[in-house]
Structure 1
Amino acid sequence: MGNPLDGAALDAAMEDVHRAGMPGLFAEVRDGDRVWRGAAGVADVTTGRPVTADMRHRIGSITKTFTTAAVLQQAEAGRIGLDTPIGRYLPELVPGERGDAITVRMLINHTSGLAEYLPWAYPSLKAFPDLANTGPQSLDDHRLTRFDPVELIGMGVAAPPVGTPGGAPGLYSNTNYLLLARLLERVTGTTAEQCITRNVIERAGLRHTEFPAGPNVEGPHSRLYEAWFGMIDPPRDHSVHDMSWVGPSASLISTVADLNRLYGMLLAGKIVSPSSLAQMQRTVRIVSQEGKPIDYGLGLYPMEGPGQGVFWGHGGTVWGGGSLAMIRADGRRSMAVAMNLQRWNGLDSSGRPQPHPIDDALATLYRVAMYG
């Protein structure tokens, strides 16, 4: 199924994304035992230092797959019930009727009805407040702010609900995953970061994946350029940024090779059991962070190509950085892509992102990487 790796076509597709306006991007594609790695463009627009395929990168919400795997491992051990109300574990964080109605599974698949604490969902919330008015100033103001996760959860829980628990469509919300991190802490007696590191990252043998100890990315990496829908011009480097505003929801640093390895081992049943993997692949309808309806499982979502089978994985964005990792359901073909510019689209008069040449070039790259 699908076509063998075509390195020349992949190189050309990468160059087209760079030419369309992406400063730099890099990727790894695997097909069985064959591996292609490539990079195009620069890691630093000032010095012209090139990107390389082995660079470390902030992977954003791809972290959610890692966090979900750690929760499912605890479920397999009988310490967590997926359909147990979160109020049984964390009554102080989700009290009362909502704590009784929202299950662990609803947190993982974003059907809890809990609001996003980030203010593009609710302007009254305090984290990055001026983003609600599409102003980027608070990105700079909070570069080195150390956010308290309990406070962030409190904002999401206190905001008006965005749906009824278990109702469809759900709404993507980082509040859910900060709660899952507290749940891991409660049942394991260690931090969520330690639990995920020991039970997922180390189990998968990922040598270049870690939670950041501070605001810097250690080791070879690209600068990360945030455009905030054309309002930061030229785009500003946000590679130094305290990631406590998302924590175990979206703060991991990894490489494209490590991501392909993780998803390969996950689908091979080496991270969670086959029955847990089957639960991860049971999808519900939710509205993504970009406002688009998508099918979402437990820390995974599917992408489908014409007649080529389903790919499972996750995407991620941080200030200035984006990534996508996908693996075919049979485990034979996988891709991981990282890029160093975000929110390149301008907004129209109603505030909707306008099409940009980067969008089409990336879609072509993904098609070549996944389907040949």
Structure 2
Amino acid sequence: MISRRSTLKAGVAALTVGGSGLVRSGSLAAHAVQVTSGPDAAGLQEVLDDIAGSAASAVLAEVRDSGQVWRGSSGVAELGSVKPVAVDGRFRAGSITKTFVATVVLQLAGERRLRLDDTVERWLPGVVAEGGRITLHHLLQHTSGIANYTNTREFRTLYGTADQVLGLRERTWTPQELLEFTAGQPLLFEPGTSWMYSNTNYILLGLVIQRVTGNHYAKEAERRLLHRLGLHGTNFPGRRSVIAGRHAHGYLPREVGDQLEPVDITRFNPSVTGASGELVSTAVDLNRFYRALLTGRLLRGEQQSQLLQIRSTGRSYDYGLGLQTRMVNGVRLWGHEGDIFGYQAASWTTADGRRQLTISCNPWGTGDLKPLTERLLAVAFQSPGTTETP
């Protein structure tokens, strides 16, 4: 059985501060004193090391602040090795996919090829039982009332254990098969009257994009977003299970006696998430994408305003159209979180696009990842100043 802690002790952390040209690599030990008006490099690296020390096998992040760039990583790219985590490595971004899909839908609205108050029935006749009462806006903002297919008993029965996930790792799912998980289920609430996160909404939006354009949603997103912004590390894998290029491995816990064993789930066919969560990307690319989106480079004025209209959710974030929003240190952030087997990611940007954080983790360990990532957010979006670590 792999010893997680002994492996991490042999790991290597890398640190790059783009603003000053400083490049540092070495152990998880001391950090230099630094006076900076940009990212708190020492503070950020300390949190990454704490994440890798207890709650993740690998973690990487990029922080941008007023033109200065910090990139860091900690842990190991693969358990059982001493291979460092590449700060420019690729990772599965999960539900961050939703912002890309929503942006394409909003662009189509700006081109008058569809309207946000069009019903699902208008574009996908007969696909949803209550499609005549559900609009595209409802889908975008998770106010449709349609059940989340990944929360259904049938889905959780299939993907309930590590061994079951491994057994289905190469299974290709069609959007129609994913929609079958919620077929016949009543709406959770009257459309537009409440809020409930549902991956099913974005499976439907992917089909709408295809109906409107004649192209698969991924092809439209590639043409409109990836190529336009030069997001060379980003792709929609479809049914391809391998992550190309440098990347950290993801793991699932398998019970062996009274202990947990890490099972490598890096190779995985993400068609089971489709338009709701298949994206593979990098921290550089996600920061570039959200900076362009928040500063109005991708949408027309009316659609930009619609993007940022917030719906209260009762969670730690509220929701625009394919976009989460929350407050940190009195600053409003926009972006999205995402997770898929073996990977967790988040990307947050201020409204003016000047300050950003993108992080990817590969959860593994006994520590609680959530408070550690909250600490990272607090450091990334604190007021700049003098930082020092002993």
Global fold match (TM > 0.5)? yes
In the aligned structure 1, how far is the partner of 2:295 from the partner of 2:329? Answer: 24
Q: Which amino acid aligns with 2:73?
A: A
Aligned to 1:348: none
Aligned to 2:387: none
Alignment of 1:80-119 (within 5 A): 80-95=114-129, 98-118=130-150
The Cα of 1:130 is off from its aligned counterpart by 4.5
Q: Which amino acid aligns with 1:306?
A: N
Aligned to 2:350: 328
1:208 and 2:230 matched:
no
Within the candidate set 3, 6, 13, 2:47 is matched to: 13
DSSP-derived class of the 2:229 partner:
coil
The Cα of 1:229 is off from its aligned counterpart by 10
Within the candidate set 271, 283, 292, 2:298 is matched to: 271
Cα deviation digits, residues 156-179 of structure 1 (max 9, x gap): 2422322221121x2111110010
Higher strand share: 2
Aligned to 1:371: 382
In the aligned structure 2, how far is the partner of 1:246 from the partner of 1:41? Answer: 27
Aligned to 1:351: none
Q: Which amino acid aligns with 1:76?
A: G
Within the candidate set 315, 326, 330, 1:303 is matched to: 326
Aligned to 1:233: 260
Within the candidate set 87, 92, 100, 1:58 is matched to: 92
In the aligned structure 2, how far is the partner of 1:55 from the partner of 1:306? Answer: 29
The Cα of 1:228 is off from its aligned counterpart by 7.8
Deviating beyond 6 angstroms after TM superposition, the runs of 4 or more aligned structure 1 residues are: 228-232
Alignment of 1:1-372 (within 5 A): 4-95=38-129, 98-118=130-150, 121-123=151-153, 125=154, 127-131=155-159, 134-168=160-194, 170-212=195-237, 214-227=240-253, 233-286=260-313, 292=315, 294-307=317-330, 309-341=331-363, 356-372=367-383
In the aligned structure 2, how far is the partner of 1:109 from the partner of 1:152? Answer: 20
Q: Structure 1 unaligned segments of length 5 or more: list them.
A: 346-355
CA contact (8 A) 1:128 1:142 kept: no
The Cα of 1:243 is off from its aligned counterpart by 0.5
Q: Which amino acid aligns with 1:156?
A: T
CA contact (8 A) 1:109 1:296 kept: yes
CA contact (8 A) 1:153 1:175 kept: yes
In the aligned structure 2, how far is the partner of 1:232 from the partner of 1:257? Answer: 37
The Cα of 1:258 is off from its aligned counterpart by 0.3
In the aligned structure 1, how far is the partner of 2:259 from the partner of 2:111? Answer: 48
In the aligned structure 2, how far is the partner of 1:152 from the partner of 1:229? Answer: 28
In the aligned structure 1, how far is the partner of 2:297 from the partner of 2:60? Answer: 27
In the aligned structure 1, how far is the partner of 2:99 from the partner of 2:329? Answer: 25
Question: Percentage identity across aligned positions?
Answer: 34
Q: Which amino acid aligns with 1:151?
A: E
In the aligned structure 2, how far is the partner of 1:237 from the partner of 1:224? Answer: 6
Q: Which amino acid aligns with 1:92?
A: G
Cα deviation digits, residues 284-334 of structure 1 (max 9, x gap): 1336xxxx4641110111120233x20100000010001000001121101
CA contact (8 A) 2:199 2:276 kept: yes
In the aligned structure 1, how far is the partner of 2:361 from the partner of 2:277? Answer: 16
The count of corresponding residues between Structure 1 and Structure 2 is 346
Structure showing greater Rg: 2
The Cα of 1:236 is off from its aligned counterpart by 1.5
The Cα of 1:364 is off from its aligned counterpart by 0.8
CA contact (8 A) 2:162 2:253 kept: no
Q: What TM-score do the two structures reach when normalised by structure 1? A: 0.88
- CA distance change for structure 1 residues 13 and 148 in 2, over 3 Å: closer, same or farther? same
In the aligned structure 2, how far is the partner of 1:253 from the partner of 1:316? Answer: 11
CA contact (8 A) 2:41 2:70 kept: yes
CA contact (8 A) 2:252 2:265 kept: yes
Cα deviation digits, residues 98-157 of structure 1 (max 9, x gap): 111100000011111111112xx221x2x35244xx544321121010112112113224
In the aligned structure 2, how far is the partner of 1:228 from the partner of 1:262? Answer: 36
Question: Structure 1 residues 313-322 or 220-229, which shifts more?
Answer: 220-229
Q: Which amino acid aligns with 2:303?
A: S
CA contact (8 A) 1:204 1:271 kept: no
Question: Structure 1 residues 135-144 or 100-109, which shifts more?
Answer: 135-144
Indicate the RMSD between aligned Cα atoms, in angstroms: 2.1
In the aligned structure 2, how far is the partner of 1:232 from the partner of 1:109? Answer: 41
CA contact (8 A) 1:227 1:341 kept: no
- CA distance change for structure 1 residues 304 and 116 in 2, over 3 Å: closer, same or farther? same
